[in-house]
Structure formats: C-alpha cells, structure tokens
C-alpha cells in the first residue's frame, strides 16, 4: 500500500491528499463550532461546558494546522519565511480560494489558538477530551518544532511536574496500546470496538494476517536495543517486546496489536508523558541544561540502564526507541536538518522497489505536494517546488 512513498514517487494525486482534505474538513467543523458559540444564547448553567467545548475547538484547530504545516511545508527551523499552508480561522464561502501563509504565520496562528484554548480549558476531563494539560503538551511539541527550546522545556516541565501523568511501569509497556487508562495518557483518540475499520485498522499496517504487514521494523531500529540482533535486549529494555519474529523469518511490530479483541484496533496516544521527558531532554541540551536526568527517568521506566552523558544523537535515538511507529521520526530528522536513511526494506514477493537509500534534508520531496484536487479549484494555491510537472 505504501510503495509510492517508498519508491519516492509522490505526486499531487497520491494518498497524502486525504491528510489535506481531512485536516481542512476538521478545521471547517471546529470553525463552525467557534462561530456558533459566539452567537448562540447559552444558558448560564451551560456556560462552563460551552467554554470547554470552545477551548477544545481552538486546540483541535491548532493541531490540524500543525499537522498540515509540518507535512506540506518546510520546517520552521529551516526557513520560517517559506510558504506554509492556508490558515483558515472562519467558515469559508464555497467559492473561497485561500492562499498559503508563510510557515511563520501558520505557527503564529497555532500559538494563538493554543493560548486561547489554555484560557478556556481546565483539567476536569479525562484523556479522551482535550484538557489544559493537553494544551501545554501541545505547546511543548510546537515550540520544539520551532526551535524555541526555552518554551519547549517550560511547557514540558509544566506537564511533568503536575504529577498527573506518571510513567508506567516496565511491566505495563507492552500492552499499553491495546488497553485503556494507562497512566501516561494526556490525550488519546479513543476508538471503540464498534468503530473498527477491519483490515484498515492502524495496527493492521504492521502485522501479517489478518493485517497486511507492509511496514516493518528496520535492522537499525532493532540494533538500538539489541546490538547483536539475538532477540534479547542488551540492557533489559522492554520496548524490544514491541516487535516479534514470525515463522516466515521476518520481524513485525506489535505495538498496536488490537484492543477489545479486535485485530489491529488501537486508540492513538496523541500526547503522552514520555514525549514530554524527551522534549524536555532535547530542550535542556539546547539551553545549556542537563538532558540526562530526563532520559534516565524514562529509561528506568522501560527497564533500560542509565546513561552517563547525552548529546543530540543519543536523544534522537531515545526518541526513536520510545516513539517508534507513531509517526515522529521523519519529522524529527527534518526539523533537525538531518538526512533520512532508509534501509532493510523487505520486498514483497514479485514487487519491484526503488528510490534512494539516503534522503538529504534539502530534498524537495521531504515535503508533500499540494493535492491536485486543491490546485484544480483554488487559483491562489501554489504547488511545492519539484512537483509542478506532476500537477
């Protein structure tokens, strides 16, 4: 299913179109909520709930714009003046043709929306709703992507020091993504068994029957915890249990095995405490602080041995271990200006694969193309460099 991506054949009509259209559909819905809350006469008894809903709407709008700008534009840390995505903060007329704002302008709106959300929310709701702490966690992540390390550390520490999200025990790590209520959850997108998408469930991407197992752990990732590749973690790190060797001789990822007895069903942990430790560690490194205590606290919770020192490569490796298969790695490399090395792809029988092994940080195709469906109806929309011939 992902051969276009692997073969480096992205164009304006590929599958990333769904990310664009779904994100803007979400923005449309929350803009309608925000607008209606301003004009509807709300009973005083309902005002507190209305404020929470409004705060969630601002936070969701920020998250949608963030996911769009990091996928379809250059990183803030590379060129904040480059074209970002269209910023949409009000319901649009059907014929509207919004232009792309700069990356800096998009992030400014994200920051503004998160600040607005923080002023409206509290922590009375559980992890399946957006809370004030979830907004602080989002602010930490956004600041990290901007290279605003002081703010990233401030917000990550705010969440950590709240004491509300203790790191789970090593014994619970393997099953955390197939069960509810684990202690690190800050914001989780809950999927019920009745909402199963069958073979299209998230976990089905990673395992064979009843999934299709197209995305598999690389040898390099395995070596992060198992240097001699003997299937035993070098220092007891339980995260190695997220992968398993099958009878076909291939390794598959089991982090998202399936909840409620439904194969592949999982509820994505969009924000969790372990990421805050990783953000704080990276931000500490960049602000002349000590990243080691943050890393060792996390590693101890995963059964791994202590580190004595840590530079950026050590922190990036720890992010790769902890956030594996959750969609962070490519963006981490991109925002840090690092090349992406692609290796150990296991070819499906009879399927030809191609594409470069190393993708440099300045490669045009590290940014997705603007979808053709948008270009066809919006004369103000500009395609990303390198994709013009495809659309």
Give the model confidence (pLDDT) of 140-180 as tens digits. 999 999 999 999 999 999 999 999 999 998 888 888 887 77
Give 37-99 as a DSSP string.
HHHS---GGGHHHHHHHHHHHHHHHHHHHHHHHHHHS--TTT-TTSB------SPPPTT--PP
Domain residue extents for the chain: 14-121+354-386, 191-253
- Residue 378: CB atoms within 10 Å: 17
Give the model confidence (pLDDT) of 22-35 as tens digits. 999 999 999 999 99
354 pLDDT above the threshold of 70: no
Give the model confidence (pLDDT) of 286-325 as tens digits. 999 999 999 999 999 999 999 999 999 999 999 999 999 9
Whether domain 14-121+354-386 has CATH 1.25.40.390: yes
pTM over 0.85, yes/no:
yes
CA separation for the pair 87, 107 (Å, rounded) = 10
CA atoms within 13 A on the CB side of 345: 19
Give the model confidence (pLDDT) of 229-262 as tens digits. 888 887 889 999 888 888 777 788 888 877 777 7
Do the beta carbons of residue 165 and residue 272 sit within 8 Å?
yes
Please, what's the largest Cα pairwise distance for the chain? Answer: 66
């Amino acid at each position: 299913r992902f051969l276009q991506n692997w073969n480096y054949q992205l164009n304006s009509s590929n599958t990333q179109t769904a990310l664009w259209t779904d994100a803007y559909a979400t923005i449309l819905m929350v803009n309608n909520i925000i607008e209606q809350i301003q004009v509807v006469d709300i009973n005083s008894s309902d005002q507190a709930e209305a404020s929470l809903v409004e705060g969630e709407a601002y936070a969701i709008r920020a998250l949608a714009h963030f996911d769009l700008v990091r996928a379809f534009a250059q990183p803030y840390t590379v060129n904040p003046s480059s074209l970002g995505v269209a910023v949409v903060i009000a319901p649009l007329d059907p014929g509207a043709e919004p232009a792309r704002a700069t990356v800096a302008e998009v992030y400014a709106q994200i920051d503004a929306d998160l600040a607005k959300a923080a002023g409206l929310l509290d922590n009375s709701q559980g992890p399946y709703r957006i809370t004030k702490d979830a907004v602080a966690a989002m602010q930490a992540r956004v600041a990290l992507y901007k290279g605003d390390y002081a703010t990233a550390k401030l917000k990550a520490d705010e969440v950590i020091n709240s004491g509300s999200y203790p790191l789970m025990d090593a014994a619970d790590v393997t099953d955390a993504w197939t069960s509810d209520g684990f202690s690190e959850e800050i914001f989780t997108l809950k999927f019920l068994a009745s909402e199963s998408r069958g073979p299209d469930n998230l976990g089905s991407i990673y395992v064979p029957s009843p999934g299709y197992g197209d995305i598999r752990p690389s040898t390099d990732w395995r070596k992060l915890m198992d240097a001699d590749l003997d299937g035993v973690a070098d220092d007891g790190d339980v995260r190695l249990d997220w992968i398993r060797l099958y009878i076909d001789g291939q390794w598959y990822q089991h982090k998202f095995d399936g909840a409620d007895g439904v194969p592949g069903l999982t509820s994505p942990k969009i924000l969790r405490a372990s990421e805050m430790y990783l953000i704080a560690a990276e931000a500490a490194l960049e602000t002349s602080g000590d990243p080691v205590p943050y890393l060792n606290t996390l590693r101890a919770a995963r059964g791994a041995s202590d580190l004595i020192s840590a530079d950026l490569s050590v922190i990036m490796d720890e992010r790769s271990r902890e956030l594996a298969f959750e969609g962070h790695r490519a963006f981490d490399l991109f925002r840090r200006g690092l090349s992406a090395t692609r290796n150990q792809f296991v070819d499906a029988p009879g399927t030809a694969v191609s594409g470069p092994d190393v993708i440099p940080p300045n490669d045009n195709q590290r940014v997705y193309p603007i979808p053709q469906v948008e270009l066809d109806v919006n004369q103000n929309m500009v395609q990303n460099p390198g994709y013009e011939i495809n659309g």
